[in-house]
Amino acid sequence: MSANARIAEVGEAISYEELGLAARNHAFPLEALRYDVTPVGLHYLLTHYDIPALDADRWRLRIEGAVENPLTLTLDELKARPRVSQTVTFECAGNGRARLSPRPISQPWLDGAVGNATWTGTPLAPLLQDAGLRPEAVDVQFTGADHGIERGVEQDYARGLSLAESLRDEVLLAYEINGQPLPPQHGFPVRLVVPGWYGMAQVKWLTSITVLDQPFIGFQNEIAYRYRVTEDGPSEPITRIQPRALMAPPGFPDFMSRSRVVDAGEVRLSGRAWSGWAPISNVEVSVDGGQTWKAAELDPPGERWAWRGWGFQWTAEPGECELAVRATDAAGNIQPVDQPWNRQGMSNNMVQRVPVTVR
């Protein structure tokens, strides 16, 4: 088993396998940046194996492992607990992968593996406290009902999260998205929501929460979702979302290339920006392909874990041009102009570029 994806040969086209994954796991259409809260069907999707068949009446959530009182909850019992809603930006850690050169072969995302939904559920921490954490507890394993084989390893989808992260107030067991029950593809009946972290941490179709007395060493933490530059070299786990800004493409598109056509004159550019490390501190726009940058106007801040809107007034002159946008967060993280290449194609937050013909 290789720890890494295969790397495409120079000039190697997207395969039917990659096309199949891309069609199953659809992106968010960038014009949907107009909605602050992403309508459910426009939110991106990423499912490693199959969407499992779960029945709400027969579903149970077990909380077990290094706890004094293991619990088994029904959906009604979970819903009877304190109810919290929060709007959270999700992004797949593989977003931007298909723009890397050479291309790591996996789900071939361009820019659209994002969405900003309102998740309703119950906070995780009080449930863990009710189960009675034992002093030796260090990590928490979240296991989904979906099952498959990945790089030769048969598994249930499972992720570990440190106990400290698991006990953050804003970590939820969510059973609604945008005010409706989770649809099958988003984790029905219950999923984990870990604000600020890339998508792999947001475990869908939860069936068990196991408190561990040693660090979790399962596939999705130790093999997948690592930032590794050389084949067998050192690697770092992927955790929180790097800053990114996206622009709602202006004007209208060419069907095939998606390049844009805009009428000369005043054009309002707008989009959204987010970071899982710290609030967005500024967004800059370039109308000359990244040679010069000007500050965009930020919308008033909303909820901490939701993206922030931005706008930019552009006087479009006739001709060809390339727009670009980049975000910086309050921790000083800024989007790179050059690709942050790595073996698994993780967290490529290189700036978005939008070719435009102004007529």
Ligand X SMILES: Nc1nc2c(c(=O)[nH]1)N[C@H]1C(S)=C(S)[C@@H](COP(=O)(O)O)O[C@H]1N2
| Site for Mo ion contains 112 (CB under 5 A) | no
Burial 64-93 (b: 16+ CB within 10 A, else e): ebbbeeebebebeebbeeeeeebbbbbbbb
Please state whether the peptide bond connecting residue 108 to the residue before it is cis, i.e. omega within 30 degrees of 0: no
Residue 22 class from Cβ within 10 Å (0-12 exposed, 13-18 middle, 19+ buried)? Answer: middle
Q: Is residue 306 within 8 Å of 89, Cβ to Cβ?
A: yes
46 in contact with ligand X (CB under 6 A): yes
| Of positions 92, 100, 246, 346, contacts Mo ion by CB under 5 A | 92
Whose Cβ is closer to Mo ion: residue 119's or residue 314's?
119
Binder of residue 343, out of Mo ion, ligand X, none (CB less than 5 to 8 A by kind): none
x-or-dash string of contact with ligand X, 166-205, rule CB under 6 A: --------------------x------------xx-xxxx
Min. distance of Cβ 277 from ligand X in angstroms?
A: 18
Q: Is residue 226 within the footprint of ligand X (CB under 6 A)?
A: no
Q: Is 165:198 a contact under the CB 8 Å cutoff?
A: no
Site string for ligand X, 135-164 (x = CB under 6 A): ---------x-x----------x-------
Cis, peptide link before residue 234, omega less than 30° from 0:
no
Q: Is 201 helix (H, G, I), strand (E, B) or coil?
A: helix
Q: What letters, b where the CB count within 10 A reaches 16 and e where it falls short, cover 268-286?
A: ebbbbbbbbebebbbbbbb
Binding partner of residue 188 among Mo ion, ligand X, none, CB cut-off 5 to 8 Å per kind: none
How many residues bind ligand X (CB under 6 A)? The answer is 19
Toward Mo ion, which CB reaches closer, 92 or 194?
A: 92
User: Where do contacts with Mo ion occur on this chain (CB under 5 A)?
Assistant: 46, 92, 199-200
Residues that bind ligand X (CB under 6 A): 43-48, 90, 92, 115, 144, 146, 157, 186, 199-200, 202-205
